[in-house]
Chain A
Amino acid sequence: MAEQKEKFAELQKAIDEHKDQKGALMPVLQAAQGIFGCVPMDVQEYIADALGTTLSDVYGVATFYSQFSLQPKGRYVVGVCMGTACYVRGAQKVLDRVQKELGVDVGATTADGLFTIQATRCLGACGLAPVMMINDEVFGRLTEDEIPGILEKFKA
């Protein structure tokens, strides 16, 4: 719990830094996402009170942007690009295979807390379509059969 206390202290610092500026909610939520790895209910309530806004407002913004997650993410975030270029080159098959291999749906995290699957907007690497990112590492020109091998490396 001490660790949690430190995290809230860090969040408060971000709030102090932004609270007097217009549109403070976005940078504060981004800070919270960084500190906690997600923005769960108690964090959003804390932000709402600190910024003098409503929880509805905070939750609305948190669910509008896909960069915020409400539940903790896995250690590895597998983001399959569903942008137009990737999509026409078979991203859906890649995504289906990732879901099959990990046994969870898009947006969910595996029971061991290792992987979270995301269907992302364009990652800006259309030349490599179809593209997938695992945390900061990019995998391009994918075929679905490559998926098990790639995931295996991260399981180790």
Chain B
Amino acid sequence: MEQMIPLTIDGVHVEVPAGTTVLEASRQAGVKIPTLCYLKDINQSGSCRMCVVDTGARAFQAACVLPVSKDMVVKTSTPELREARKTVLELILSNHDKKCLTCVRSQSCELQKLCLDLGVENGDAYAGSVNHYDVDDVSPSIVRDNNKCVICRRCVAACDKVQKVGVIGPVMRGFKTAIASPWQLHLSEMACVNCGQCITVCPVGALHEKDDTDTVWKYLSDPEKHVVVQPAPAVRAALGEEFGLPMGTSVTGKMVSALRRLGFDKVFDTDFAADLTIMEEATELVDRITNNGVLPMITSCSPGWIKYCEHYYPEFIPNLSTCKSPHEMEGAMVKSYYAERADIDPKNIIVVSVMPCTAKKFEAKRPELSNGGFPDVDVVITTRELARMIKEANIDFGKLPDGEFDDLLGESSGASVIFGATGGVMEAALRTAYEVITGEELKDVNFAAVRGVEGIKEATVKVGDLDVSVAVASSTAMASKLLESVKSGEKKYAFIEIMGCPGGCVNGGGQPIVDANTRATVDIRKERAKALYNEDQGKAIRKSHENPMIKKIYADFLEKPNSHKAHKLLHTTYTARPKYSK
């Protein structure tokens, strides 16, 4: 039996297990204590002093690191406490650029909300020295602006603890303390994987994606250009949040209509290319298994994971599937197959990808992901950037009718939709591999063992007479853990799915921002994934190889999976990269 501790918070009596913090207990009491640096399980350091409470002790204590004790009487909102919190905020503002009107995080900024909620009236109460920093916008994915940083270290925790990348940290001391990379190098000079998890946990505007919406607007207004757009599976599971819809609402139809209203000439779907990926990847897997190829084969859809592999585990490069990621495949098909069918010169086609991901921005710039001098994908924008474009165009998202994707490269199976959740690619591949290998119909298409948000999942799947042992990892820290067990010989798998972000793309670095309070009580990964699994469930076709457009594209154009032409257009190579910049 867990020992239960009784205590009183603002007059509300609660009993919580020993070891619970006052902050956690306060939730049970229905009392909201303000926080800033706190991020559940990842960053609980008591350093910002926003969550101070009065327990009758000599000094106020930080609730996020204060364990409950028997019969404790906690006050969270006395005049002295409110004053103390206000002072903390005023001190933060004294070294903050306060350019809220033009800040990308205005209205989703936790500092702004705290100042508003706690009634801070004077932003210059402690006017004095201010640190000025150069904005690091060299990376194609992530922008760091220390002029807005509150040094809460949530980004550092995400980078180091969640992702095991650790390319930013606190440097210097005292007033000069800043979050930076060693030797003040640009992020792009570090072994940063561009996953953007730092962005999603930043309470303010100190971290954001490199905005590419201007480029998209420019192409949309250029009559010479035929602009094609493709949204990734996970985008539809989260875009609604930007317009006030509850987390986990699927907005596929409205998203399609919005994209059309923005003026894209064709609205295709990355889901189509996800089906294509399965065809190529499942065939590659079967080939590797039957012809003594390098195993385990590891998926290559996640550009965060790919760059992590290139920097930190280059010895696993031969294990990576040679398949391009789905949106790159879609781009390659748009500029070849579609260009041919529609009789448009590929040089006039612009492919815009809407991705839940900041790493895709870097990926699209890889020279190897091009064909005949044209990049497969011209511009990548995140879910957040698409939401900004929709707002900028005065589109009332909630009132949009449901639209349909365009033919040719817009049709998809249920298997492709679940690509956005951890385990989804594995499940989709198994649905197809099973039928390819056995020649029999798969009775139950649901592979429950590879679903769920655990960091590492394992399963052994019966495929005819074969026992195929598979593993699924999400977050690069979990990838590292899994690969270490493979390296040591402790584990043996035939097929591994790795996604760079925890929970997969639904929780990608380009997805709508969720504040720390909500994060403490809601599992983003689960809620958004539900939308995708529901969509899969509702589809008539749930296996990639049964997608009629997939059959057609092989019959008309690609011949067969892993054909010479498919290799030229849909497969790629990788480069070992150093861990430290020299």
Contact = CB atoms under 8 A, between A and B. Distances in A.
B30 interface: no
A56 B183 contact: no
B580 A55 contact: yes
A137 to B, nearest CB: 27
Interface residues of B, number: 14
A44 B183 CA distance: 11
A120 B183 CA distance: 22
B401 interface: no
B166 interface: yes
A59 B166 contact: no
B315 to A, nearest CB: 16
A59 B171 contact: yes
A60 B160 contact: no
B179 to A, nearest CB: 9
A65 B172 CA distance: 8
Interface string A60-95: 100111000010000000000000000000000000
Nearest to B165: A54
A65 B173 CA distance: 8
Contacts of A44: 182
B171 A54 contact: no
A63 B171 CA distance: 6
How many of chain A's residues touch chain B, expressed as a range? 10 to 19
Interface in A42-56: 44-45, 54-56
B172 A63 contact: yes
A56 B180 CA distance: 8
B395 interface: no
Given A59-B169, A59-B171, A59-B183, A54 B580 contact: no
A57 B169 contact: yes
A44 B171 CA distance: 14
B170 interface: yes
B168 interface: yes
Contacts of B167: 54-56
B181 interface: yes
A58 B170 CA distance: 10
A94 B362 CA distance: 52
Contacts of B171: 59-60, 63-64
A41 interface: yes
Contacts of B182: 41, 44, 55-56, 58-59
Interface in B169-207: 169-173, 181-183
Contacts of A63: 171-173
A55 B172 CA distance: 14
A57 B166 contact: yes
Contacts of B168: 56
Given A45-B580, A55-B580, A60 B183 contact: no
Which residue among B168, B181, B183 has the maximum number of chain A CB atoms within 10 Å of its CB? B183
A54 B170 contact: no
Given A58-B182, A64-B172, 12 more contacts: A54-B160, A54-B166, A55-B167, A56-B160, A56-B166, A56-B168, A56-B181, A57-B160, A59-B182, A60-B170, A65-B173, A70-B183
The 9 closest A-B pairs by CB, nearest first: A54-B166, A56-B169, A59-B182, A60-B169, A63-B171, A64-B173, A63-B172, A55-B182, A45-B580
Interface of B: 156, 160, 166-173, 181-183, 580
6 contacts: A44-B182, A55-B167, A56-B156, A56-B167, A59-B169, A70-B183
